[in-house]
């Protein structure tokens, strides 16, 4: 059941990412300095690669939950939120701060792991 819960958790976060970046897409593209013409939406590599990354993150999140003895929905959600908000998002913020890109990317890209990992924690608690 472990691998199924990891894949389900990864799918939840990945789908959230699609929704999130769908909602903020235009502002995100502006902040990145991208245009519709500069994107290649038919290239499957970013989509497949991002799902593989979600599987890796979900697998490690499952490991952290198991090693910590966390098995309740609330504790798993808070742990996911904490990992996203206080581990993943600061790394993103650091990358953006040293780049020449818009600092608005800090909240745009930082919200994705915060919410995505919260969802991972919830799914892992429900199915893990």
Q: Output the pLDDT for position 1.
A: 65
Query: 110-126 in b/e burial notation, b at 16+ Cβ within 10 A?
Result: bbbbbbbbbbbbbbbbe
Question: With 0-12 CB in 10 A as exposed, 13-18 as middle and 19+ as buried, what is 36?
Answer: exposed
Q: Which residue has the higher pLDDT, 60 or 36?
A: 60
Q: Global pTM?
A: 0.94
**Confidence tier at 128 by pLDDT (50, 70, 90):** confident
Taking residues 85-105, report their average pLDDT. Answer: 96
> What share of the chain in percent tops pLDDT 70?
99
């Amino acid at each position: 059941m472990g691998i199924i819960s990891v894949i389900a958790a990864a799918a939840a976060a990945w789908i959230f990412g699609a929704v999130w970046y769908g909602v903020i897409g235009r502002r995100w593209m502006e902040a990145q300095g991208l245009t519709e013409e500069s994107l290649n939406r038919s290239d499957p590599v970013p989509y497949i690669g991002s799902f593989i990354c979600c599987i890796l993150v979900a697998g490690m999140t499952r490991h952290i939950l198991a090693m910590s003895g966390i098995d309740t929905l609330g504790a798993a959600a808070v742990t996911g939120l904490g990992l996203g908000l206080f581990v993943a998002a600061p790394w993103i913020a650091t990358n953006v701060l040293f780049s020449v890109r818009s600092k608005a990317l800090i909240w745009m890209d930082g919200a994705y792991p915060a919410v995505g990992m919260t969802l991972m924690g919830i799914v892992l608690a429900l199915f893990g």
